[in-house]
Each structure stands twice: as structure tokens, then as C-alpha cells.
Amino acid sequence: MASEQLAVLFADVCDSTAIYESIGDAQALALINHLIGVLKQKTKASGGTVVKTLGDGMVCHFANADRAFQAACDMQVAAVAAEAGAEPRLTLKVAFTWGPVMTEADDIFGDTVNVCSRLVSRAGPRQVLTTQETVSALSESLRGRTRELYPLSVRGRVGEVNVCDVLWRFDPDVTEAMELSELTAAPSPEYVLKVSYGGDTVVVEPAGSLSVGRDKSNDIVITSTLASREHARIYGRGGYFVIADQSSNGTFVLVEGHNRELTLHREEATLGERGLIGLGGPASSAGDHLLRYRLERRKS
């Protein structure tokens, strides 16, 4: 088994099970196979190698991080173009990482591959995720097209990885990270964030993070059908607490004492001292999609 430095990329079609159920196996398979064929073309155009296809997704690798970055962006552009006029629409989630990779019998293994697999499971539709380590391996011009999101634990790895979002297109759907400083408490490591749902409360430490969504792997499992499987993540950053939307229907933040409700689509915002978070529906409405949060001083 040989080891070399490579960029690994995972691309998955979102909600493929629902697509098969809605239009039938034959038509769904044809649509997905067509998109996978396009992704293979984009991989080859960027100098990459397809390792394998996984039914509704594929794994490939590249000689450097810049090529993986370009392929990831091209894949999303191609997927969006394929959506035009199509029903149902096939959306794509992509992740790529850079680092040491073990190769054997035309397959790849190792920590770099495991981290990439974990990232793509956390990505939302039309999103490209990577790590801060991978961003550091990009050319300077490409680093500016990323933004840091949140720390993430990966099974079998000591410590967390810092997740970054790739801004693969510049339009109103992908905006700069929002910092609502006028609504936030002063940053301080003396505070923790308490998030409540369904009678349970979870404490987020200043250096910690919290995942919310319908999937049972989340720290807080949401029962509402408005929420996505992996809807959002709340994490500490620089003494503040930030929420990052990863969903299809959006995340809504209503800070107590303010009438303005903030809507996030693949964006992030700093949370205020206390308020409501709506997952897939307005925070101003009562329902099973609501979280309550509040800052509290750490008890000595």
C-alpha cells in the first residue's frame, strides 16, 4: 500500500431515496446516472481520477487542492444547469480535502478520505465544504473564496477539524458571513449558550459546537418535517456563538427585544443574548421547529 499527498473529493446527489420513490426506479436511475456522467467529465477536465461511483455519488482524487477546488465548483455549476426545467431537480453536495492518502488496488484510504466522507455527509444541497487545512494548501487567489464555518468532530481523529464553506458562485444565494454585532452580547469566555428543545436543554461551551436536525446523529434531534436532516450547527467562535445554516428551507433567528427576524440560507449569523431559532419555518411562529437559546454566565 503506497502513500502520497492527494486531494480527495466526494460528490453525492441529495435525497436520492425520495427521488426514486417519487418517479420510480428506472427514471430516477437514468437521471442520476446522467448527472454522474457529467461529474466524471468535470473530474477529467480538472485533471482528476475517478476512484469509484457509489450509486448516487462518486469519489475522485486530484494532484493538488486547486484542481479539486475547480472541479468542485464546476460540478455544482453543472448540477444547477441540469436542474433548469427538470422535475424532480437533482441537487448536489460536494466536499474535498487535501493530505496523505493510502492507495491500493485502485482505491484510496486513510484519514484524509475519512474526513472528506464526514464533510460531505454534513454538506447541504448546492454546497461545497472543505477544511481549514485544505484551504491552507490552496493558492492565495482561491483562499479568498472560502469562509470558516465551525469545528467538527470526526470519528477516529484526535481533535476537531475546522470546516470551511467554498463560495463557488457569487450571487444573492451565497453571501458574506453575517456578523450581527449590534444584537450580540460582548464576547467573553465566561459565558455558555443554553439551547432548549422539547423540554431538553443542551449547553454549548465557548469552544464547543452543537448540531441540530432530523437525523438521529445530531446532538439535538428535531421532529418537525420542516427541518432538514442536518439542518444547522451552533458553535462558539471568538467568545461569540454563531449559527450556520445547512438546510433546504432556511434557518430563522429572532433575537429577544428586536422585531427584525433574520433569514439564513447557507449563511451564518452571530446569536444575541437570548431568542428563538426557527428551523425551516419562521421563529415568530409557535411550532415543533423552534429552538430557544440564551446566554448564561458560567457558574464558578
CATH code, domain with 154: 3.30.70.1230
* pLDDT above 90 for 62: yes
Question: Is 172 part of a structural domain of the chain?
Answer: no
Q: Do 32 and 142 fall into the same domain?
A: yes
* pLDDT above 70 for 247: yes
Query: Cell 477529467 belongs to which residue?
Result: 44
* pLDDT above 80 for 217: yes
Which residues, in sequence order, are CB contacts of 221 under 8 Å at separation 6+? Answer: 213, 214, 215
* pLDDT above 70 for 180: no
What pLDDT, on the 0 to 100 scale, is given for residue 236?
Answer: 83
- Residue range 63-77: average pLDDT? 96
The mean-pLDDT minimum among 63-67, 184-188, 201-205 falls in 184-188
What pLDDT, on the 0 to 100 scale, is given for residue 297?
Answer: 81
* pLDDT above 50 for 181: no
The mean-pLDDT minimum among 97-101, 118-122, 173-177 falls in 173-177
Question: Is 173 part of a structural domain of the chain?
Answer: no
Rg (CA), the chain: 20
Pairwise pLDDT comparison (205 vs 238), residue with the higher score? 205
What pLDDT, on the 0 to 100 scale, is given for residue 159?
Answer: 78
Distance CA 137, CA 98 (A): 7
Q: What percent of the chain clears pLDDT 70, i.e. is strictly above it?
A: 90
Pairwise pLDDT comparison (237 vs 204), residue with the higher score? 204
Q: Do 215 and 259 fall into the same domain?
A: yes
- Residue range 201-223: average pLDDT? 91
CA angle at residue 263 from 259 to 269, to 5 degrees?
Answer: 90
The mean-pLDDT minimum among 16-20, 33-37, 109-113, 173-177 falls in 173-177
Question: Is 43 part of a structural domain of the chain?
Answer: yes
**pLDDT tens digits along 226-239:** 999 989 999 887 67
Is residue 251 within 8 A of residue 243, CB to CB? The reply is yes
Domain at 240, CATH number: 2.60.200.20
Q: Do 131 and 78 fall into the same domain?
A: yes
Q: Do 45 and 137 fall into the same domain?
A: yes
Q: Do 58 and 83 fall into the same domain?
A: yes
Distance CA 62, CA 68 (A): 6
Question: Is 34 part of a structural domain of the chain?
Answer: yes
Q: Where does the pLDDT of residue 14 fall: very low under 50, low under 70, confident under 90, or very high at 90 and above?
A: confident
Residue 188: domain span:
181-297
**pLDDT tens digits along 155-176:** 777 778 898 989 887 544 433 3
How many structural domains compose the chain?
Answer: 2
Beta-strand pair 127-131/92-104? parallel
- Residue range 177-187: average pLDDT? 41
Is residue 164 within 8 A of residue 147, CB to CB? The reply is yes
Q: Do 82 and 9 fall into the same domain?
A: yes
What pLDDT, on the 0 to 100 scale, is given for residue 289?
Answer: 93
